[in-house]
């Protein structure tokens, strides 16, 4: 039996334990133009058991996180409104034996947007046929690896950590993030073999726009966040820094790069994956990070990672793809941090989040100066 989005609540889910990640909104800041650009949309989000796909060449983890965000109420939509509807649908996958932590986002318009056949969608999610479901296109992102670099930009031998489970530890056990204020998600933590390093990958979606306390992460009804938290990366020298490598994926010839963003466009709608220019380090301090998006790998270790990811991406998209690697360089000496790339449509959630926090800080400074002088 096939299950449409209208009856998505009938999907049977596995009983998963809730994680202890605390999801709260910052009370004094919000996204820029939130009411206009990040208005409420009808959503469905749930962690479900990974369906069996016999033709799949990738070995998926035990659970995935599914999310849809539509411009109409799919239970009450009239035929007239369906023609103008649009929806996003994402599948977020934690680290697995043969998979990096990754998210694939599809964008559709019209009837397809509110009548997706979820059973078929899952079967086509990692293989041929997925792209034909979404007339607005598909896009993806993945967390690939961690490395240590010197101030001169040289890779430190022996520090490469692939974020596939096979390279870290046993496959992680996904947990639900306890819902709060319309924020839902899934999280998965792992220890790196032979090291004290711990890596926590979390996916979050939200029914409203705002900035979370956890990682100072901007969220909205039009985006899905991937939050990578690294604890105790063992730097060989405090003057060195950690680099996180992200993969951005589009079907061949579809994607464009604009700064830290890779996007596709359909009828004026931007569907994107984006690297944030900020991270949280130490005692909840928000700092700038270096971001460089390239079309090829720049080091020997990244070259191997790029090759592995290229094969993975082709399997995920069912055909030729265009890949970019985003190198995220954290401040020197920082061994623990929280970083949050995103996928979504419309206004880029990180551009709104970064400017708002900056403006908020300037407003506080202005008030202090008025008080003093």
Q: What pLDDT sits at residue 16?
A: 45
Across the range 176-193, mean pLDDT stands at 90
Lowest-confidence region among 13-17, 129-133, 325-329, 344-348: 13-17
Q: Which of 244, 208, 201 is nearest to 223 (CA)?
A: 208
- For the cut 70, the answer to whether the pLDDT of residue 122 exceeds it is no
Mean pLDDT of the chain: 76
CB atoms within 10 A of CB 40: 13
Give the global pTM: 0.82
Higher pLDDT, 331 or 179: 331
- Burial 7-37, CB ≥16 within 10 A → b, else e: eeeeeeeeebeebebebebbeebbbbebeeb
Lowest-confidence region among 63-67, 77-81, 266-270, 274-278: 77-81
Q: 240-266: per-residue pLDDT in tens?
A: 999 999 989 887 677 889 999 998 887
Q: What pLDDT sits at residue 300?
A: 56
Q: 159-174: per-residue pLDDT in tens?
A: 988 888 766 666 678 8
The total domain count for the chain is 1
- Most confident region among 23-37, 74-88, 265-279, 294-308 by mean pLDDT: 265-279
Domain that holds residue 12: 5-372
Mind spelling out the 3-state secondary structure of the chain? CCCEHHHHHHCCCCCCCECCCCCCECCCCCCCCHHHHCCCCEEEEEEEECCCCCCCCCCCCCEEEEEEEECCCCCCCCHHHHCCCEEEEEEEECCCCCCCCEEEEEEEECHHHHCCEHHHHHHHHCCCCHHHHCCCCEEEEEEEEEEEECCCCCECCCCCEECCHHHHCCCCCCEEEEEECCEEEEEEEEECCCCCCEEEEEEEEECCCEEECHHHCEECCCEEEEEEEEECCCCCCCCCEEEEEEEEEEECCCCEEECCEEEEEECCEEEEEECCCEEEECCCEEEECEEEEECCCCCHHHHHHHHHHHHHHHHHHCCCEEEEEEEEECCCCCCCEEECCEEEECCCHHHHHHHHHHHHHHHHHHHHHHHHC
């Amino acid at each position: 039996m096939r299950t449409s989005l209208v009856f998505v609540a009938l999907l049977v889910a596995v009983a998963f334990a809730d994680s202890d990640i605390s999801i709260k909104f910052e009370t004094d800041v919000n996204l820029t133009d939130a009411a206009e650009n990040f208005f409420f949309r009808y959503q469905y989000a749930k962690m479900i058991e990974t369906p069996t796909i016999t033709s799949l060449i990738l070995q998926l983890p035990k659970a995935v996180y599914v999310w849809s965000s539509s411009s109409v109420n799919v239970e009450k939509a009239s035929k007239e409104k369906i023609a103008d509807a649009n929806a996003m649908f994402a599948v977020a996958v934690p680290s697995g034996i043969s998979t990096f932590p990754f998210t694939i986002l599809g964008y559709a318009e019209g009837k397809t947007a509110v009548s997706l056949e979820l059973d078929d969608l899952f079967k086509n999610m990692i293989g041929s046929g997925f792209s034909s479901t979404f007339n607005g296109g598909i896009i993806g992102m993945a967390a690939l690896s961690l490395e240590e670099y010197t101030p001169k930009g040289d890779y430190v031998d022996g520090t490469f950590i692939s974020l596939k489970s096979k390279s870290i530890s046993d496959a992680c056990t996904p947990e639900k993030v306890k819902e709060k204020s319309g924020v839902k998600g899934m999280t998965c933590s792992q220890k790196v073999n032979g090291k004290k390093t711990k890596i926590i990958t979390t996916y979050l979606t939200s029914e409203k726009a705002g900035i979370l306390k956890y990682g100072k992460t901007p969220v909205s009804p039009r985006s899905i966040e991937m939050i990578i938290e690294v604890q105790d990366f063992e730097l060989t020298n405090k003057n060195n820094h950690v680099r996180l490598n992200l993969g951005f994926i589009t079907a061949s010839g579809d994607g464009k790069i604009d700064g830290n963003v890779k996007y596709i466009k359909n009828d004026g709608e931007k569907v994107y994956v984006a690297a944030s220019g900020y991270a949280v380090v130490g005692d909840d301090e928000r700092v700038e990070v270096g971001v460089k998006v390239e079309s090829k790998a720049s080091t020997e270790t990244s070259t191997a990672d790029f090759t592995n990811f290229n094969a993975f991406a082709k399997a995920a998209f069912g055909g030729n793809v265009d890949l970019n690697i985003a190198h995220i360089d954290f401040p020197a000496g920082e061994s623990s941090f929280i970083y949050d790339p995103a996928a979504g449509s419309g206004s880029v959630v990180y551009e709104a989040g970064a400017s708002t926090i900056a403006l908020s800080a300037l407003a506080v400074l202005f008030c202090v100066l008025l008080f003093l002088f």
